[in-house]
Amino acid sequence: MKTIKQLTILLSLLTLTLPASSTTAATPPHKNVILMIMDGTNSDILTLSRWYRGTDLKLDTILRGGVRTYSAQSAITDSAAAGSAMATGVKTKADYIGMNPDRRPVLTVLEGAKLSGYRTGIVSTSPIQHATPAAFTSHVLNRDEFGDIGEQQVYQGLDVVLGGGGAWLKPQTKEPTKDDDGMLKTKQVSREDGENLYEEIHSSGYELVRKRDGLLRGISSQKLWGVFADEDISYELDRPHLNPDEPSLAEMTRAAIDRLSQGGKGFFLMVEGSKVDWAAHKNDPVGMISEVLSFDDAVREALDFARKDGNTMVVAVTDHGNSGLTLGNHGTNGDYKSLPADRFIKPLKKARLTVKGATSQLKQDRSNLKEVLSSYGLGDLSKKEFGRMEAAKSVDDLENEMVKLMAERANLGFTTHGHTGEDVFLYSYGPGKPVGLIENTDIPRVISAYMGFSLGTGPFATWYVDGMTYYRDRGYEVSVEGRTSKNPLMVAKRDGEVLRFPENKDFYWRNDEKVGLKSVNVYDGETFYVHVAD
């Protein structure tokens, strides 16, 4: 039997032979978080997508619980309030982006990560100015303020930005567009203030890529901004056929991870699969499946990285339900017990394009209507069914008839063209992961705790202050110049010193000196909110 002295000597020798990294904690391990949001997705479309693919989803392997989605004012949330809850840890009102119910900006988990020394990025198949990516990167009272959102995003200092939304980075044009997220609103595309934010992106050191091949070639710059569409990126089912220069969500996710993981303390990445929601608003089951499977492919990229890395938390969730899709409808009341999965899937698999992709090919004189219908899997219509299509007065009416017929053939039901209020699935993997039935506001709290900071206590809890009151209390004369203009300024004057804070920028002017700030300036139409470092 060895003596205590002999054991001590053996332990000392063993210690000498260990690698230096095993005996010192001088360099703490990096920590990464990938938060993935599948917008507007209910549980039945996940079931249907699994049957469609014929194998389990990658999401299935990390199912851990559920998430409650209600907002501060409603049992059924919109994407702005839901995104803001997941970004800030605060329930808020519909249309509010990064603002609490009292109209004050609240620091987001992405901003907290950036201020704590982590690299940050966002990926989206919608315009990046849309509600969910906006909620992590900006602060406005109305989600439709794409110009202000886009400007704040450019001045936030993110390391990677990939998605659509190029129209709101360039000066104003006269070309109107239709919002395709189911709301059927007409918007003015491009910036009303006439600013060219592409110039700021270039001057800030980003490598700007506009096409898929440029993204896949690999990027040398530390900062990457990818703009692959003026508005949204195509549905994945349509993309290879109609817009092959656009990357897939999985490709953008892989590129973002590759760039963000190159050294440093770690990173926070938010990835949104935006267009399950858009297809759900249209009640298009083909489009919904397209985007669920696209998102699942992106989840595979995140999990492959996380499993190799060992220090990466992956959280995947949807922000709310949409459409009330059901496997089964009033037509299946009598025979649902004898309906195999093929009776739901076969009609859907006949579609080569989503309903939006199919109707985008429709000629003005509708001479190719049969070909368009066939591309959506409706190539064998009866005379009565084809008459329904011919009678549609507008493209929107035609799409509505097409998806109704597809749902009939696939034995599917829909309860609404809007959102729904059910709890949604929680998927998670890695150290510190959330589990169980949680509130959507718990997500940023779990993430920030893992990354070593708090949004609810300390300096981050009161990061933004009412700048007008703050400077008045210190003897400044404070006013807002250009209050009704597209580029208002807060101006504070005292003893020959003039401070000028431009809306949405991360700096102010002290007389002729430009002074950088750690956050963007936020103006809600009445009050300027700024960060003041005491």
Q: Under a CB-based contact definition with an 8 Å cutoff, are residues 38 and 425 in contact? A: no
Q: Among 166, 154, 271, which residue's Cα sits nearest to residue 228? A: 166
CB atoms within 10 A of CB 517: 16
Q: Which phi and psi angles does 497 have, rounded to 5°?
A: -95, 130
Q: What is the DSSP letter of 74?
A: -
Give the pairing type, strands 186-188 and 207-209: unpaired
CB atoms within 10 A of CB 461: 12
CA geometry: angle 14, 15, 16, nearest 5 deg: 90
CA distance 362 to 394: 11
CA distance 374 to 282: 19
Q: Which phi and psi angles does 426 have, rounded to 5°?
A: -110, 125
Q: Which phi and psi angles does 219 have, rounded to 5°?
A: -120, 135
**Burial of 350: CB neighbours in 10 Å, binned 0-12, 13-18, 19+:** middle
To the query of whether residue 394 is one of the catalytic residues in this protein, the response is no
SS3 per residue for 220-232:
CCCCEEEECCCCC
Q: Among 61, 22, 112, 90, which residue's Cα sits nearest to residue 450? A: 112
Helix axes 285-309, 43-53, angle to 10 degrees: 80
Q: Under a CB-based contact definition with an 8 Å cutoff, are residues 500 and 517 in contact? A: no
Q: Name the catalytic one among 79, 84, 138, 374.
A: 79
CA geometry: angle 139, 141, 143, nearest 5 deg: 85
Q: Which residues contact 415 (CB under 8 A, 6 or more apart)?
A: 323, 324, 326
Q: Which residues contact 167 (CB under 8 A, 6 or more apart)?
A: 127, 177, 189, 190, 230, 231
DSSP SS3 for 403: helix
**Burial of 354: CB neighbours in 10 Å, binned 0-12, 13-18, 19+:** buried
Q: What is the DSSP letter of 501?
A: E
State how far the alpha carbon of 411 is from the alpha carbons of 52, 194, 325, 339, in Å: 14, 50, 11, 9
Q: Which residues contact 504 (CB under 8 A, 6 or more apart)?
A: 148, 151, 152, 155, 520, 521, 522, 523
Q: Under a CB-based contact definition with an 8 Å cutoff, are residues 143 and 95 in contact? A: yes
Helix axes 285-309, 395-409, angle to 10 degrees: 80
Which residues are identified as catalytic?
A: 79
